[in-house]
């Protein structure tokens, strides 16, 4: 998805001598994905990015599975996840499979004592509550309510929050996160019918070269373990960089809904894709305009996928008693649909102000111990008349 971008100072030709004012060489690093066959960037450091001083004992953050196999419509009350000071400790995985992990987090404090790198997954962090700055060697991205922060694997970062009141919905993808293929032309440009375009993408700005030596703690996640590394140089020592591999952001408020005379299927809401799953954005939009249209969604049998809906804000016409931060999981194998009475009630309505994030995974999701603790156990009965 990202287009070519560059910040700072780089040499005229790649892989050539690039020297500091004192005559010594800057350290060039190629950050590549899928071997050398996909997106990459070239980074120029004040020091080699390889100076490891200490390696601590790794510890597990693997999700603890509580319900591996199930066929039950499930609801989780996401804001019942208790806030914690530390960013990493606040991240609670709730729904997981071999393609992605879905977590909730309510961190109160900024990351100041360490840096974090996810080496096993791309991260999509949806900002439900809070504002602040994503800080990386590539530059800074200011974030606010409704932003998706897309952080490619291998990116060292810190999150700086403006207040203690933060709520995050996090997707870890074990495959690259991209824009939907059907919205891109053969050259990678988003086409005219896409619900967003390159102008909507927030790229890093304000590259600040931190030329420091010392002890810098970087917590690196790999295969479900956190490895505490101590490096001898600051990880944000980028002099400059260019390429296609870097963090970026997109606001759900910039997603332009696709509507029609009759009810449109969920793929029109697709925003990102990974291997075996998609991420969709439900935003305020005009309802269907056929004179006999039914705005409420029709009953649907999930044959090939589970369906996860994360409720963000607004009035959800198809469900009763929805609260902010609620997650519904409708597993593949049984149908689901609008709440009793909502179909007839929707007729004649012209607009919805709902805001939600939907994920459709094509392999079943498992519930973790953290999920069970915030489950509404009676949700599966919500269609009883």
Give the separation between CA 307 and CA 176, rounded to whole angstroms.
Answer: 20
Confidence of residue 339 (pLDDT cuts 50, 70, 90): confident
Residue 308 lies inside a defined structural domain of this protein: yes
pLDDT at 345: 85
pTM: 0.96
**Binding site as annotated, residues for Fe cation:** 300, 306, 336
Q: Is 22 exposed, middle or buried (0-12, 13-18, 19+ CB in 10 A)?
A: exposed
Residue 281 lies inside a defined structural domain of this protein: yes
Residue 337 lies inside a defined structural domain of this protein: yes
Lowest mean pLDDT among 131-140, 155-164, 308-317: 308-317
- Average pLDDT on 180-201 reads 95
Tens digits of residue pLDDT in 193-228: 999 999 999 999 999 999 999 999 999 999 999 999
Q: How many residues does the chain have?
A: 385
pLDDT at 263: 86
Tens digits of residue pLDDT in 318-337: 666 789 999 999 999 999 98
How many other C-beta atoms can be found within 10 angstroms of the C-beta atom of residue 243? 20
Active-site annotation, residues:
263
Residue among 164, 145, 142 nearest 314 (CA): 145
Residue 367 pLDDT exceeds 80: yes
**How does the average pLDDT of the chain come out, rounded?**
95
Residue 192 lies inside a defined structural domain of this protein: no
Residue 299 lies inside a defined structural domain of this protein: yes
Question: Any residues with CB less than 8 A from the CB of 108 and at least 6 apart, and which?
Answer: 83, 84, 85, 90, 161, 164, 165, 166
pLDDT at 318: 61
Confidence of residue 1 (pLDDT cuts 50, 70, 90): low
Segment holding 94, helix H or strand E: strand 92-96
Residue 279 lies inside a defined structural domain of this protein: yes
Residue 260 lies inside a defined structural domain of this protein: yes
Tens digits of residue pLDDT in 260-308: 999 888 899 999 999 999 999 999 999 888 999 988 888 988 888 999 9
What are the φ and ψ backbone dihedral angles of 2, each rounded to 5 degrees?
A: -60, 145
Residue 383 pLDDT exceeds 80: yes
pLDDT at 29: 98
Segment holding 372, helix H or strand E: helix 369-373
The CATH number assigned to the domain holding 346 equals 2.60.120.10
Q: Could you tell me the residue range of the domain that residue 363 belongs to? A: 253-381
- Between 155 and 296, the higher pLDDT residue: 155
Number of domains in the chain: 1
Residue 19 lies inside a defined structural domain of this protein: no
């Amino acid at each position: 998805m990202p287009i070519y971008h560059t910040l700072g100072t780089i040499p005229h030709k790649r892989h050539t001598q690039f020297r500091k004012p004192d005559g010594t060489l800057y350290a060039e690093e190629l950050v590549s994905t899928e071997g050398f066959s996909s997106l990459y960037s070239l980074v120029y450091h004040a020091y080699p990015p390889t100076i490891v001083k200490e390696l601590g004992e790794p510890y597990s953050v693997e999700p603890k599975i509580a319900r591996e196999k199930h066929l039950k419509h499930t609801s989780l009350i996401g804001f019942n996840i208790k806030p914690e000071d530390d960013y990493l400790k606040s991240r609670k995985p709730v729904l997981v499979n071999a393609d992605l992990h879905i977590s909730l987090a309510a961190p109160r404090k900024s990351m100041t004592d360490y840096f974090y790198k996810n080496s096993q997954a791309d991260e999509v962090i949806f900002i439900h509550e809070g504002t602040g700055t994503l800080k990386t060697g590539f530059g800074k991205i200011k974030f606010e309510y409704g932003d998706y922060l897309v952080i490619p694997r291998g990116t060292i970062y810190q999150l700086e929050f403006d207040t203690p009141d933060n709520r995050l919905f996090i997707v870890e993808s074990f495959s690259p996160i991209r824009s939907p293929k059907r919205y891109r032309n053969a050259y990678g440009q988003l086409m005219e019918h896409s619900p967003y375009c390159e102008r909507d993408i927030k790229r890093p700005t304000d590259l600040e070269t931190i030329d420091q030596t010392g002890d810098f703690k970087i917590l690196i996640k790999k295969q479900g373990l956190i490895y505490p590394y101590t490096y001898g140089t600051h990880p944000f020592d980028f002099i400059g960089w260019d390429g296609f591999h870097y963090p970026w952001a997109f606001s759900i408020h910039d997603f332009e809904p696709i509507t029609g005379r009759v009810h449109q299927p969920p793929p029109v809401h697709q925003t990102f894709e990974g291997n075996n799953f998609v991420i969709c954005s439900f935003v305020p939009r005009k309802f269907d305009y056929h004179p006999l249209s039914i705005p409420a969604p029709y009953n649907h049998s999930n044959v090939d996928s589970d369906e996860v809906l994360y409720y963000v804000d607004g009035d959800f016409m198809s469900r009763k008693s929805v609260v902010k931060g609620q997650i519904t999981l409708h597993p593949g194998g049984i149908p689901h649909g609008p709440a009793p009475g909502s179909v007839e009630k929707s007729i004649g309505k012209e607009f919805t102000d709902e805001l939600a994030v939907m994920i459709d995974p094509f392999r079943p999701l498992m519930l973790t111990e953290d999920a069970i603790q915030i489950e509404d156990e009676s949700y599966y009965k919500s269609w009883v008349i």
